């Protein structure tokens, strides 16, 4: 059993998605894990401790100030005597408390006291998930090392609204738990991976540059997911505003030329995932001085020249990594363009996405991709970029398992 002997502290907070936590408990136990439940007061408005306790076959902890519970176990031990703290559902309120270090009930106190990995499955109304305050809190929590699964896009149970906010399904949460806990979850140990991420900035003069809307979210998430599977990761990042992921070597570059140099210097490697939105063109001769405006005179013209194609260079290199993956950001004919790219660039896989402005993918947090290989195509559902990364890392690990 995949989770045999693993101890999961499951914090259930107050949302309608709590009903799915009952099934989640069953699925975790089916896989051999023990589940120790903690419920907030809100959670008990949706499901009963009786049902949770029966399914978990354990005492349900609800009260920070319960003399009996404190005597028997104590909140500090609760927080530490487990392999993973799982929060499902994680409400906007609980995330806000965590982000700010509040500890005014048992669940939030455990979350402040724990030194174990924490995985949160948020569930809330789409407007609450999209709110600037929640976004800020989630960004902060990610920075603190909290992992997330979901929320997913879909119809909300109570209001019938559609949008992002639905809790991940129990099987998806179980997969995320396995990913974090699997003893053998280092299938990429000893493998070296080079990832490019973010945009490039191509100087026009010392103060101006050509750039694009890439945020680096997808590339950084892939680098993290590969590092989580044990890969030795070098992340070559263009200028982004998101923090460096932990546990890897990060090289910061500005221009495509610098990105290519950094990638080639990092060879040999086993895996290359070129996610960066490298500018196709650079200014043929960038000015050393700021270009002045001269009203009434002719406007300056920018002569462009092609940038090096880093993916193509790596795909045809004498030290070509065993697995070379590229991305294809297209606004039309996504699949046929991606197929052509597979051949031209010497890649094994192209991850194709439609970046038409209406999709909100470029610069956004979600992605809907097609996995294009020489022998087939697979459409993935609309996912958070972190979940695309986890799936892609699992797919990469699978390739190495097959030898
Ligand atoms: O040709 P196109 O830019 O659409 O190809 C996208 C893929 O190629 C991405 O994986 C991107 O990282 C990579 N690429 C590159 N160097 C370039 C242009 C694209 O590595 N100059």
pLDDT(1) > 70: no
135 and 246 belong to one structural domain: no
User: How far is Cα 403 from Cα 397, in angstroms, rounded to an integer?
Assistant: 10
Distance CA 353, CA 310 (A): 19
Domain shared by 222 and 348, yes or no:
yes
Distance of CA 182 to the CA centre of its chain: 18
Closest by CA to 177, choosing from 49, 86, 55, 269, is: 86
In this predicted structure, what is the pLDDT of residue 390? 87
Pair (175, 196) in one structural domain: no
Q: Indicate the top mutation candidate among 218, 310, 336, 371 to test ligand 1's pocket, ranked by most ligand atoms within 8 A of CB.
A: 310
| Percent above pLDDT 90 for the chain | 70
Could you tell me if 23 and 131 lie in one domain? yes
pLDDT per position as a tens digit, 237-287: 999 999 898 888 999 999 999 999 999 999 999 999 999 999 999 999 999
Question: Are residues 215 and 319 both part of a single domain?
Answer: yes
Instruction: For the chain, give the percent of residues with pLDDT over 70.
Output: 96
Mean pLDDT of 19-32: 95
Ligand 1 centroid, distance to 327 Cα (angstroms): 7
Indicate if the pLDDT at residue 184 is higher than 80. Answer: no
Separation CA 293–CA 274 (nearest Å): 38
**Angstrom distance (rounded) from CA 379 to CA 137:** 31
**Nearest protein Cα to ligand 1, atom 5:** 328
pLDDT digits (tens, 9 = 90+) for 112-132: 999 999 999 999 999 999 999
pLDDT of amino acid 353? 86
CB count within 10 Å of CB 272 equals 28
Is residue 28 predicted with pLDDT exceeding 70? yes
Mean pLDDT of 288-300: 89
Residues 6+ apart with CB under 8 A from 179: 185, 228, 390, 394
Of 137, 212, 307, 353, the catalytic one is 212
Q: Are 350 and 338 in contact (CB under 8 A)?
A: yes
Using the 3D structure, point to which of 181, 214, 249 is the last residue of a domain: 181
pLDDT tens readout for residues 308-336 = 999 999 999 999 999 999 999 888 888 89
309 is in an annotated binding site: yes
Q: What is the pLDDT of residue 362?
A: 66
Higher pLDDT, 164 or 238: 238
pLDDT band at 97; cut points 50, 70, 90: very high
Catalytic: 212? yes
345 in a labelled binding site = yes
Look over the chain and give the mean of its residue pLDDT values, rounded to a whole number.
91
Confidence (pLDDT) at 226:
94
Residue 311 annotated as lining a ligand binding site:
yes
Is any ligand 1 atom within 6 A of the Cβ of residue 324?
Answer: no
Tell me if 234 sits within 8 A of 195, measured CB to CB: yes
Same domain, 236 and 299: yes
Separation of CA 258 from chain center: 26
> How confident is the model at residue 285, as a pLDDT?
93
Instruction: Give the mean model confidence (pLDDT) for residues 149-163.
Output: 78
Specify whether 86 is located in the same domain as 217.
no
**Which CATH number goes with the domain that contains 163?**
3.40.50.1950
**What pLDDT band is residue 82 in, cutting at 50, 70 and 90?**
very high
Q: Say whether pLDDT at 365 is over 80.
A: no
Ligand 1 center to 279 CA (angstroms): 8
Classify residue 124: in a domain, yes or no: yes
Mean pLDDT of 366-373: 90
| Domain residue limits at 119 | 7-181
CATH number at residue 389: 3.40.50.10300
From the number of C-beta atoms within 10 Å of its C-beta (0-12, 13-18, 19+), residue 73 rates as middle
Residue 186 lies in a domain: no
Question: What local confidence, expressed as pLDDT, does residue 347 receive?
Answer: 98
**How many domains are contained in the chain?**
2
């Amino acid at each position: 059993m995949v989770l045999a002997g693993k101890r999961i502290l499951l914090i259930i907070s107050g949302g309608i998605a709590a009903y799915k936590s009952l099934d989640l408990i069953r699925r975790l136990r089916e896989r051999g894990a023990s589940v120790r439940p903690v419920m907030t007061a809100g959670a008990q408005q949706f499901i009963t401790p009786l049902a949770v306790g029966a399914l978990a076959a354990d005492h349900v902890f609800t009260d920070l100030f319960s003399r009996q519970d404190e005597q028997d176990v104590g909140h500090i031990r609760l927080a530490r005597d487990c392999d993973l703290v799982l929060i499902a559902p994680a409400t906007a309120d609980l995330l806000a408390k965590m982000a700010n270090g509040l500890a005014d009930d048992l669940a939030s106190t455990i979350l402040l006291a724990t030194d174990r990995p924490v995985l949160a499955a948020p569930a809330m109304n789409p407007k609450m998930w999209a709110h600037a305050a929640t976004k800020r809190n989630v960004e902060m929590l990610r920075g603190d090392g909290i992992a997330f699964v979901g929320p997913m896009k879909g119809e909300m149970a109570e209001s019938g609204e559609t949008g992002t906010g639905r809790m991940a399904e129990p099987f998806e949460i179980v997969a995320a738990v396995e990913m974090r806990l699997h003893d053998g979850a280092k299938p990429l140990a000893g493998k070296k991976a080079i990832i490019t991420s973010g945009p490039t900035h191509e100087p026009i003069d010392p103060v101006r540059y050509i750039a694009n809307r890439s945020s680096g979210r997808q590339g950084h998430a892939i680098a993290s997911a590969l590092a989580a599977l044990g890969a030795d990761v070098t992340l070559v990042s263009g200028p982004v505003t998101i923090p460096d992921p932990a546990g890897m070597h990060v090289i910061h570059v500005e221009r495509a030329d610098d990105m290519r140099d950094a990638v080639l210097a990092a060879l040999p490697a086993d895996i290359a995932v070129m996610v960066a939105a490298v500018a196709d063109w650079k200014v043929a001769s960038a000015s050393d001085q700021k270009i002045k405006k001269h009203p009434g005179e002719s406007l300056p013209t920018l002569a462009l020249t092609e940038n090096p194609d880093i993916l193509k260079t790596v795909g045809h290199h004498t030290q070509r990594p065993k697995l070379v993956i590229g991305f294809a950001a297209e606004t039309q004919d996504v699949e046929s363009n991606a197929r052509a790219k597979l051949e031209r660039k010497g890649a094994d896989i192209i991850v194709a996405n439609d970046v038409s402005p209406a999709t909100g993918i470029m610069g956004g947090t979600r992605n809907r991709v097609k996995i294009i290989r020489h022998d087939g195509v697979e459409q993935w559902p609309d996912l958070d970029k972190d979940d695309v990364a986890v799936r892609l890392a699992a797919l990469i690990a699978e390739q190495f398992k097959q030898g």
